[in-house]
Amino acid sequence: MKKNYLLFYLFVVISLYGCVYVDGKTPSNLQYLGQNFDQIYMDDYKLFWRILHDAASRARTCLDVSQTTEFIGLAKTMRGNAEFNEFLSEEIEMLAIDQTECFLSAWHNADEPTQAGVLRKLKSPLFIEPTALFKAFRPFAHGKYGEMVRYYLEAVP
């Protein structure tokens, strides 16, 4: 009986993990951020960055590739916000180096606009040397993620 309660509790916690409610009514997750990007940035700067840092943290753990895919999906968000773009570039570059297989899986699973947005960031990395990306991607060039590695290599001069 205790085991059932524990499983139920665990299910509820995991279900709510990706969606925190700030004021009891407003969800604060990536989907909410994506739909209200400019408004949240202007009206609640602290919430904006909390959502991003929480999502980046979940993406880096790679416990669930779908969370990493959702996070890198921000790459298709073309905003003139340098602070956001630098943050996202750094997170994507670090994911590509530190969690390469998870990153390639997420990139592979992403929609075309996300794939293109990620590629734009990787073509001109801000925080790592391009050689670090080549080194990280090389072991995956002929396997399951070979298509993504070739996609990157063909785009880089």
Average pLDDT of span 106-133: 96
The answer to whether 71 and 30 have CB atoms below 8 angstroms apart is: yes
Q: What is the pLDDT of residues 87-106, one digit of tens each?
A: 999 999 999 999 999 999 99
pLDDT at residue 34, as a whole number: 85
**Token pair belonging to 105:** 């899986």
For 137, the 3-state DSSP assignment is: helix
Q: Length of the chain in residues, anyone?
A: 157
Which region among 11-20, 43-52, 67-76 has the lowest average model confidence (pLDDT)?
11-20
Q: What is the pLDDT of residues 123-156, one digit of tens each?
A: 999 999 999 999 999 999 999 999 999 999 999 8
As beta bridge partners, residue 21 has: 27
pLDDT at residue 23, as a whole number: 41
* Domain range annotation of the chain: 26-155
The angle, 0 to 180 degrees and rounded to 10, between the axes of the packed helices 82-98 and 65-72 is 150
pLDDT at 48 over 50: yes
HSE of 85, CA atoms in CB hemisphere, 13 A: 14
User: What percent of the chain shows pLDDT beyond 90?
Assistant: 69
Which region among 8-22, 31-45, 97-111, 140-154 has the lowest average model confidence (pLDDT)?
8-22
CA–CA separation, 16 and 79 (whole Å): 29
